[in-house]
Chain A
Amino acid sequence: MAEWRTLPWIVRGSSLCLLVFYAFAVASPWIAPYDPVRQYRDQPDCPPMALHWTSGSERQHGWLFAYPMKMVNPLARTFVEDHSRKTYIRFFYRGHLFTTESPDLPWFMFGSEGLGRDLFSRIVYGARVSMFIGVVGVLISFSLGLAVGTFSGYVGGTVDNLIMRWCEIEMSLPQFYFLLALAAVIPSGLSTTVTFFLIVAIMAFISWAGFARVIRGMAAAVRTTPFVEAGRALGASRIRQLRRHIVPSVLGFAAVNASLAIPGYIIGESSLSLLGLGIQEPAASWGNLLSQAMDPQNVLHYPWVLIPGIFIALAVMSFNFIGDYLRDRLDPAVIR
């Protein structure tokens, strides 16, 4: 753990942040206190609820409790605390990290959204989409770009020329429009998993070419270095040269570039979902949760609908900080 202490605090903070978000994604049923699609019909757009300490005599119910909210004006959706009842928060209870004693009297940590679903639970489930879209997308475009780039740079000649022209075509596509056009292709009846992979595939298809071009430039440079030529002179096969010499020498750079590309995927998915083209209700992603904030009136009256946006920003920022740090560490030419 000595190395951990030498990291800048911002990188440590970012790593912790991402760790929490991935925990959300991996263990969502356990971390989310409620069913993310259960609609508490009598509590739509309920504000976040305050917590109170329990007095000594109620300690067998747990240390914390909240007063359930009662809607006093259904039109303006204003709520007051109902002091006649209490709902107790229990940890490690009924198979959740924390939840209330009765699921019928929920405690909304971040409030509830327009249909009365618990926003925090939806954010936890939404992390599945938002946190994995970047990793899966980068894995696809990374392996594709690495394979095509090293091959093209190593082989050279006409094949190289053709592949690079193709990459140029893909790089010249007006990206956001193209993303929209392809996203509109996704039929609406598909399951969330299929939609997720289609979105990833589309974004990876758009972004692998630029990646391949950079890798290709590096591979072409490595090809003429003495150690590769020595390998060739010793009779190493093409495959072996590619595998043992070319790929390892561009891998470090490629990995850093990949980590810097993750935020693009997160933002891309949220933008699509925000516009209603990505992950569809009732499944949650941070982007489609934020679509409630499209209406300024909504935000004015229920400011907690902005919370998913904070999660997006935090995730993007953490990836940026870590990627930036890695790049600085691996590239001595960059001045900090």
Chain B
Amino acid sequence: MVRFLCRRLLLMIPLIIGITFISFSAMSLVPGNFLTGLAMNPQISPQVIRQMQAEFGLNEPLLRRYLNWLWQAIHLNLGVSLQYRVGVITLIESRALNTLILSVSSMVFTWLLAIPLGVVVAVKQNSILDRVLSSMAFLGMSIPAFFLAFLALDFAVWVNKPWLPVGGTFSPDYANLGPWSKLADRVDHLILPVLVLGVAGMASLMRLMRSQILEIKRADFVRTARAKGLPESLVIGKHVLRNALNPFVTMAGYALADLLSGAALIEAVMNLQGLGLLLLNAVQSLDVPLVMGSVLMGTVLLLVGNLLADLALVAVDPRVDFGSLASQ
């Protein structure tokens, strides 16, 4: 296991360097830079622009800039955002909590509903419940999440109730509320985004669970379990379910990376003050340090998530060991 861990951790280094380098070069391919917009402003003298250019190191060649950034990043210094003039880490921290709350609650909602539903639907295959839920899952998969978000917002406007606000992370008078009202306010603002993200995620999860169980239900060891007189609940719970869990452990690893970046589009549509919106603005204004910080964070989360998923897979499934994982 130690060998496996060392190997994987070592492999992460070239991965991270490769990904950040690609992103960095992509940002530099853009004609112009952060200062191009400012240079158009007649109130800012060209001298100031030149000064800022030197200060941000925009005159240096691409490779030198990237190496500078990398060297600083190794020392856990992600630099200062060009547009906000605040440390990138501080900025990300301030927004990450909102995004984290949103994605954790939608994930809990999704998994808690989708897994049991998938099991029920598979056990009662071809029943009316199965037909209805499976076709709904298909619809849920096919309707783009942003379109669902629109519909949800319209629903909120149409209902026009204070407990169902139209977008935003909290009410305008949030700062003046008491602690309990603050919590209630937050929860109110979470209802729609969580529903939208949940419906989209639930559909695919439920379908996967269903097909997994249907496949395993036909296996010989399940028939054996039935033949030796185990009650149906034990057959499903112990024999089928445990064997069906495999891909979900892997998916949970990917979900870790999605925690901070998966909801970006919904954040933009529903105007939620999260990382997605922050990054969207950063990308549009070519705020390189901020974009690079977010990309780095997303990459590390994805790699760590995959590693954790593999470790969990070994723990859950005795058929998988470190040797087979390493040879993949």
Contacts and interface: CB of A to CB of B under 8 A. Distances in A.
Interface of A: 165-166, 168-169, 172-174, 176-178, 180-182, 184-185, 187, 263, 267, 270-271, 274-275, 277, 290, 293-294, 296-297, 299-300, 303, 306, 309, 312-313, 316-317, 320-321, 324, 333-335
20 contacts: A173-B19, A173-B23, A174-B299, A177-B291, A181-B291, A185-B29, A270-B144, A293-B150, A294-B150, A296-B153, A296-B166, A300-B158, A306-B154, A312-B144, A316-B144, A317-B139, A320-B141, A321-B138, A333-B215, A335-B215
Nearest to B150: A293
B30 interface: yes
Interface in B136-152: 138-139, 141-144, 146-147, 150-151
A177 B264 contact: yes
B104 interface: no
Given A169-B19, A173-B22, A174-B302, A313 B215 contact: no
Given A169-B18, A169-B22, A185-B30, A180 B279 contact: yes
A176 B15 contact: no
Interface in B243-290: 257, 261-262, 264-265, 268-269, 279-280, 283-284, 286
A187 B145 CA distance: 27
B100 interface: no
Interface string B155-172: 011100000001100000
Q: Which label, helix, strand, loop or mixed, suits the secondary structure of the B interface?
A: helix
A269 to B, nearest CB: 11
B280 to A, nearest CB: 6
B195 to A, nearest CB: 16
Contacts of A180: 264, 279-280, 283
What 3 pairs between A and B have smallest CB-CB spacing? A174-B298, A317-B142, A169-B18
A274 B146 contact: yes
B53 interface: no
A320 B142 contact: yes
A181 B283 contact: yes
A176 B265 contact: yes
Contact of A174 (B11, B26, B30, B261): B261
Contacts of A274: 146, 269
Contacts of B150: 290, 293-294, 296, 299, 306, 309
Contacts of B26: 178, 181-182, 185
Nearest to B155: A296
Contacts of B166: 296
Interface in B1-60: 11, 14-15, 18-19, 22-23, 26-27, 29-31
B22 A177 contact: no
B295 A174 contact: yes
Interface string B198-236: 000000000000010011001000000000000000000
Chain B interface size, under 10 / 10 to 19 / 20 to 34 / 35 or more: 35 or more
Contacts of A303: 154
Contacts of B19: 169, 172-173
A300 B139 CA distance: 24
Contact of A296 (B141, B167, B214): B167
Given A172-B299, A177-B279, A299 B154 contact: yes
A313 B147 contact: yes
Given A176-B265, A267-B144, A300 B284 contact: no
A173 B299 contact: yes
A197 to B, nearest CB: 16
B294 A177 contact: yes
Contacts of A324: 138
Contacts of B284: 184, 277
A282 B240 CA distance: 56
Contact of B142 (A174, A187, A263): A263
A275 B268 contact: yes
Contacts of B311: none
Which among A168, A172, A334 has the greatest number of chain B C-beta atoms within 10 A? A172
Nearest to B271: A294
Given A173-B299, A324-B138, 4 more contacts: A169-B19, A174-B257, A275-B265, A306-B150
